[in-house]
Amino acid sequence: MSTTASAQTMQTALRLLQALGHALQLTDELEDVAYREAEISFVFAAKEVRRRVEEGYEILEKFIRINRTG
């Protein structure tokens, strides 16, 4: 196993990181809409999804940082 990621792996990881960032924006939007529409179960669902996406974002961001520095 190499200590640095290939260009293709890094490019894919960066695209995923971008998608996770977009997912965070969408969870905020879902939470806002659900709150306005009094769909409380969706408010809680959005909060849980956000928590999990944030965890994934942090993990992936850490691996990207490690691979950039070697």
Read off the pLDDT of residues 19-63 as tens digits, 9 standing for 90 and up. 999 999 999 999 999 999 999 999 999 999 999 999 999 999 999
pLDDT at res. 69: 80
Q: Is the pLDDT of residue 1 over 70?
A: no
DSSP assignment of 1-69 equals --SS--HHHHHHHHHHHHHHHHHHHHHHHHHHHHHHTT-HHHHHHHHHHHHHHHHHHHHHHHHHHHHHH
CB 43 within 8 A of CB 34: yes
- Name the residue ranges covered by the structural domains of the chain: 27-70
pLDDT at res. 19: 98
Tokens of residue 42, six digits: 């969706």
* Degrees, nearest 5: CA angle 2-57-45: 145
What's this model's pTM, rounded to 2 decimal places? Answer: 0.81
- Band of residue 16 on the pLDDT scale cut at 50, 70, 90: very high
